[in-house]
Amino acid sequence: MKRKEYIAIFLMAIFIFIAVINGYSEENEAIHFRADYVEYDEDSKDIYAKGNITINYGDVQLNCNEAAFNTEEKKIQAKGKVILKDIQGTFFGETMEYNLETKEGKIDNAKFSTHPWYCGGPKIEKKGPEKIIIYGGFFTTCDLDSPHYSLHSKKIVIYPERKIVAYNVLFYVGKVPILYLPFYIQSLKKRKYKLDMRVGSNTEQGTFVKTKFGYPLSLYTYGKVYLDWMSEKGVGVGLEFDYDVPEVTKGSFYVYHIKEKDIETERWNSRFSHWHRINQSLTGTADLNFMSDRLFNDEYKFIDSPSEITPDEGDLFNYGYNEARVNEELKSHVSLTLNRDVYQATIAMKRKDHWEDDSFEKEYVYSPEFSLSGFPRKLISIKNIPLYWRGSLNAQNYYTSEIGHYLFSADAKLGLTSGFPLNRYMRLTPEVDFHQFLEDECHHNQYDTRTNLRIHPVWWLDMDVIYDLEDTLYKKDGCAQNIEPLDKLSNRNLFRFNSYTNFIISTGYNFRGILEGKMDNLIAELQFISPQKESYLKKVYFKDIYDINEGENHSLQGEFLWEKNERWYVKERFNYLSYNLNMIDVNTGIGFWLIPKKLKLEGNLRYDFCFSEINTSKPTEKEIIIWKDLHCWEAWVSWKKRAYDEEIWLMLNLKVFPNRKLGVHHNVEQNEWDFRTKSY
């Protein structure tokens, strides 16, 4: 007999042996029985047990106080604090009849739990692994003995990991029935689809129903359908397709269209974005945007429901929604980028359109644009001190609305840099760049130098003394470009008070050029984040930009956070800009835990103080938020009033479904209200 035939017979014997062993082990699966008292009748093959009984058989575990068990038929009659656990969930009852082999049985005065559902009734019947019937029972997600809410029915059918079906259902809040449903179906599968819905009314669109339905088309793709009905405007339809193959490609395509029936005008919006890795070094990107008018997003963008709150965090709640903006410009580009160890090269086409009067007009076009950047590389070493070089080249054929025709321009840079440690406390870093610029008939040469002296005398102080020099080497007569020379000395000082507090101050003096004989702005910045949990002062940020020449502040901004965990917090922000009519914007947020982790009250105020006028009596924005933990539910109410807008939010969601929310929103100023659902 040939060798191959021996091998085939040997493998067949192994497979048969494994099959026999598996069959034998299944037919003779061990039953583990433990109790305080056990009797065995050899004739009837019955076991009678009492006290702290535990029976294990496969994936089934049974606990009770008293049981009669037939070892041949594998039938059990149990009573007294019966607990049965299997892959479907956990059953509790007073008495039970159960077949370990077929996994069928009946339980009296029973309860059943499978996260997040809790069910119960006078009788539960288990129809094998595929079906559970509850007679005259209830189901809920509240785990209290007296649940806050529950659904009651004469017959509840549970198909594990599939669905719950109930008929003639009464919805109870506490012990009070408030709603009747002829039938109810609850899926137990993991939801693949996501659905958002808004139902409401406003002045512009009339009564409306807006829906967004999302579904995963494959492992790497996701589709969304937008379908909106508005009594005044008509029907709007949109599609969105997202894809993401990790490390290979990702992108999105979106389009939305509506023909407004009241003014017979077609309006639309579309966008396309794409990124693709062609190989390890080459990637391509595209971003295209088109829109019928600047106000489209502001009127038709699907507005999401309030963000999911995180009450355990001390920061302010992130209420509100993603408000669309008026779009004044559209930007599009297509590019191809090559990355190497020593350089990066990109070729691209770009376009920007700006809204003018009643249409989008092109502001600039680059067709094409090429850029090449060389990363710093060591050129030579002088006495073990390396000298690095870098370079770049940019060329573009471009059009601007001001010029009215296409021009070609190019510029190239070549730079050298190095670092010289003078001693253990000082380091000198000089840089020099040569820059050549060409545009149409004009070209000029320029050089830039920068020298930085870093002084680190002690651990808590860093001092930088910087000297910048820029000047023109050659300039052709008739060039429109006016290159201003630069001759400036500046300094920057960093003070470390400790490992979590920094203070930075910087300024400079320009000897030549347009700012000849003038000081730079004096910039002071303080950063503090407390590492101590018991500290009340958690964060401080302060930045001041002071114009030395004019003798006035250009801007002033800061942020402070005081907090005592699970008790209170105060958050203060302010911002001042001198060119903004000498206005200082102040935002104050105060939050209190009236009941730790159960009830929170928060208030936010925003004031705009004008130094030229006395007008500080009314805040420009007010907000009040109340959040309440309702055990199995959570609810919050928010009211917000701005200068031209006022809105009220009422939101309620079930904790076991944190991504499903129900709420009512009312915008008083725009006379708009809507009911919103969110499954994202």
Residue 330 has a CB neighbour count (10 Å cut-off) of 19
Tokens, residue 383: 């006495």
Tokens, residue 19: 């099959």
- For residues 563 and 540, is the Cβ–Cβ distance under 8 A? no
d(CA 338, CA 283): 7
Tokens, residue 188: 């137990």
Please list the ranges in the chain whose pLDDT falls under 50: 1-2, 5-7, 9-28, 302-324, 680
Q: Which helix (H) or strand (E) holds 255?
A: strand 249-260
Following DSSP, what letter does each residue of 619-665 receive, concatenated? -SEEEEEEEEEETTEEEEEEEEE-SS-EEEEEEEEETTSTT-EEEEE
d(CA 435, CA 483): 12
- Between the CA of residue 320 and those of 389, 588, 673, what are the distances in Å? 51, 17, 15
The whole-number pLDDT of residue 660 equals 66
Prediction pTM value = 0.65
d(CA 650, CA 656): 19
- For residues 67 and 51, is the Cβ–Cβ distance under 8 A? no
Q: Which helix (H) or strand (E) holds 16?
A: helix 3-27
Amino acid present at 649: W
d(CA 595, CA 603): 16
pLDDT tens digit sequence for 495-520: 999 889 999 999 999 887 655 668 88
The whole-number pLDDT of residue 624 equals 92
The whole-number pLDDT of residue 102 equals 86
From the list 504, 557, 500, the residue with the least C-alpha distance to 529 is 500
The whole-number pLDDT of residue 128 equals 82
d(CA 676, CA 215): 19
The whole-number pLDDT of residue 33 equals 81
- For residues 51 and 36, is the Cβ–Cβ distance under 8 A? yes
The whole-number pLDDT of residue 303 equals 45
The whole-number pLDDT of residue 558 equals 95
The whole-number pLDDT of residue 311 equals 36
Tokens, residue 631: 């055990």
Amino acid present at 24: Y
Tokens, residue 477: 């007569």
- For residues 329 and 354, is the Cβ–Cβ distance under 8 A? yes
Task: Tell me 128's DSSP state.
Answer: G
Following DSSP, what letter does each residue of 460-503 receive, concatenated? TEEEEEEEEEEEEEEE-TT-------EEEEEEEEEEEEETTEEE
